Amino acid sequence: METFLELFDLLFFRNAVLAALLASVSCGIIGTYIVSRRMVFISGGITHASFGGIGIGYFFGFSPIVGALFFGVLSALGIEYMSKKTEVREDSVIAILWSLGMATGIIFVFLTPGYSANLMSYLFGNILTVSQLNLRLLLVLSLLVIVVFLLFFKTILFVAFDENFARAIRLPVDAVNYLLITLVALTIVLNIRVAGIILVLSLLTIPQTIANLFTHNFKTMIFLSILTGMIGSFAGLLLSWFLDIPSGAAIIFFLVLIYLLARVVLQIRISLKIKRQINPHYEK
């Protein structure tokens, strides 16, 4: 117990815990929207396209996260525009931008003189290395996401579940779509340090999938997703510290364990319910 408490004396560990909590908030809210709208593939395209910005950042000597933000947001807006305003299919647009981002990133990383030692943390995440700047950006992102969803919650619900009806009642569907796809891109890029490009999509979908096992209410899903993300992130953080393994992988691994446990619990509940229906006098 003393060893566990002593971890909080370390500044970088406290930063990692704060990052896990903030990531759970932003990913919990945005991830619920992604899962509800079945935008997981789109989010995957944005995630991998942002790698192009990381490679350019390394090559030209500025923050890779700045490059990833530019590429991520530009790709998100491009997907939204081209899939709605042109005849190109959405999955084709995603595949093109996904491939372009990865190819661009790889080219510029290989052109960068010397070996980019921190590249692995962008691919697989390292929450133990988050800086004060990362924390401030995550805090701003979380506040921004909360404010947007509080102000436009009903509109977001209409757009997420029945876009045609939302257009029929003259809601600003296009503006909402562009706003939310931008927030999706920001959430993905700013959480790269937590889970990495390869795993960040799991942080946006696994907690929501767990929550969806127990509820179909959008607001309840958000709260359960945030709670699940916090538990999984903190447990994965501890696991990565004590086993000296990558933090992003440890967090996702623990979230998958929670999902499997939730499935077992749900199956037991269903079995008990069926037995009670068959035999009203059944006792546990």
DSSP letter assigned to residue 86:
S
Average pLDDT over residues 24-40: 89
In whole angstroms, what is the distance from residue 244 CA to residue 237 CA?
10
In whole angstroms, what is the distance from residue 135 CA to residue 250 CA?
20
Cα pseudo-dihedral 210, 215, 220, 225, rounded to 10: 0
Is pLDDT of 282 > 70?
no
Lowest-confidence region among 73-87, 169-183, 205-219: 73-87
List, in order, residues 6 or more apart from 184 with CB less than 8 Å away. Answer: 30, 33, 34, 39, 42, 43, 46, 76
Decide if 176 contacts 29 (C-beta within 8 A): no
pLDDT bin (cut points 50, 70, 90) of residue 162 is confident
pLDDT bin (cut points 50, 70, 90) of residue 1 is very low
pLDDT bin (cut points 50, 70, 90) of residue 268 is confident
How does pLDDT run across 191-206, given as a tens digit for each residue?
A: 887 777 777 888 889 9
DSSP-derived 3-state class of residue 31: helix
